[in-house]
Amino acid sequence: MDKLFHVIEAQQFDRPLLSELFAVTKEMEEVVSRYGSNILSRRLMASLFYEPSTRTRLSFESAMMRLGGQVVTTESAREFSSAAKGETLEDTIRIAEGYSDVIVIRHYESGSARRAAEVASVPIINAGDGPGQHPTQALLDVYTIQKEIGRLDNFKIAMVGDLANGRTVRSLAYLLSKYDGVKIFFVAPRVVRMKDDIKAHLDEHGIEWEEADDLIAVARDVDVVYQTRIQRERFGDRIEDYEQARGKYVIDQTVMEALLESSVVLHPLPRVDEIVPEVDGDPRSAYFRQAHNGLYIRMALLQMVLES
Ligand code: CP
């Protein structure tokens, strides 16, 4: 099996690599419960975040430190790195690679992680590139699905919310196309429906999908509801479209009553108002467990790109 180096897009993972990653991720759960490891001591991770983040940045930094490594970081990099003086992304990467062994980057432009990888001699990990992809989120999503419902073949999932701008659902759709017997329902307001390139990819890979309007009816039929936030920051001055989309699909007690006892609700987070806090205590609300799995997946990725 080829060594994992850059992590740029979900399509680069095949089933054997996913199985290997999930096995290492499971080991990382044990490592954390034993208070960490020193396998990445003397290794240094640079995290460059040009867009806001809580989970991805903190979990990557925590992952590196849990494995004995160290971190240099810039948040709000648009403002606080030399990007503010006009430095190109390529030049920033050429500098950061001299200071670190791996670079984790979140950027506001689709394709930016690939641009970074083209000039980098150290591994680049895409932590979200605008509306493009968020592959490490999709990896933790798939790991969570396996943990929560016990399988990755033969299940039904509803992707709900901002499917046009959602990089997490794009990456997740690419990963799910690796599995058998998966059916995807797209439940989105008209202005943010799933894009045609993803639908074409699913068709090419024999994955059944359907667009639906009735969230309650879909909730009765699926194993996973994957809710997403309507992303105000992607609408620019299209305020009317944003207002039309927000609040249309909300996970509340009525949706939870429709959901099977064995099904789960996921969300990449952050949420705004698309899941009411009153359902957080329901054991089928798995989104905080999902976010915690991000630590283990990112520990496994760092170990695999730096050590294997
Ligand atoms: N899910 C996710 O990417 O969250 P953050 O934006 O907080 O990193």
CATH node for 10-133+293-307: 3.40.50.1370
- Residue 56 CB less than 6 A away from ligand 1: yes
- Residue 270 CB less than 6 A away from ligand 1: yes
Q: What is the pLDDT of residues 119-164, one digit of tens each?
A: 999 999 999 999 999 999 999 999 999 999 999 999 999 999 999 9
Q: Give the relative orientation of helices 167-176 and 135-149 as an angle to the nearest 10 degrees.
A: 60
pTM: 0.96
- Residue 269 CB less than 6 A away from ligand 1: yes
Q: What is the pLDDT of residues 147-156, one digit of tens each?
A: 999 999 999 9
- What would the two tokens of residue 83 be? 């990007």
Using CA atoms, how far apart are residues 147 and 4, in angstroms rounded to an integer? 23
- Residue 136 CB less than 6 A away from ligand 1: no
Q: Which atom of ligand 1 is nearest to the CA of 106?
A: 8
Distance 56 CA to ligand 1 centre (A): 5
Distance 206 CA to ligand 1 centre (A): 30
Q: Looking at the domain 135-291, which fold is it?
A: Rossmann fold (3.40.50)
At residue 1, the pLDDT reads: 55
- What would the two tokens of residue 111 be? 């394709």
Q: Which atom of ligand 1 is nearest to the CA of 269?
A: 1
At residue 128, the pLDDT reads: 97
Beta bridge partners of 184: 157, 209
Query: Closest Cα to atom 6, ligand 1: which residue?
Result: 53
DSSP 140-187: HHHHHHHHHHS-SSSEEEEEES-TTT-HHHHHHHHHHTTSSSEEEEEE
At residue 247, the pLDDT reads: 86
Distance 220 CA to ligand 1 centre (A): 28
Distance 268 CA to ligand 1 centre (A): 7
Please report, for the chain, the start and end positions of each structural domain, with discontinuous segments joined by +. Answer: 10-133+293-307, 135-291
At residue 234, the pLDDT reads: 83
Residues marked as catalytic: 55-56, 85, 106, 134
- Residue 140 CB less than 6 A away from ligand 1: no
- Residue 19 CB less than 6 A away from ligand 1: no
Q: Please check whether the two domains, 10-133+293-307 and 135-291, share a CATH topology.
A: yes
DSSP the chain: -PPP--B--GGG--HHHHHHHHHHHHHHHHHHHTT---TTTT-EEEEEESS--SHHHHHHHHHHHHTT-EEEEESSHHHHSGGGGT--HHHHHHHHTTT-SEEEEEESSTTHHHHHHHH-SS-EEEEEETTS--HHHHHHHHHHHHHHHS-SSSEEEEEES-TTT-HHHHHHHHHHTTSSSEEEEEE--GGGPPPHHHHHHHHHTT-EEEE-S-HHHHHTT-SEEEE----GGGSTT-HHHHHHHTTSS-B-HHHHHHS-TT-EEE--S--SSSB-GGGTTSTTB-HHHHHHHHHHHHHHHHHHHHT-
Beta carbons of 136 and 126 less than 8 angstroms apart = yes
pLDDT along the chain (308 residues), means of 10: 89 97 97 91 97 97 97 91 94 98 97 98 97 97 98 98 94 98 97 96 98 98 97 86 89 98 98 97 98 98 93
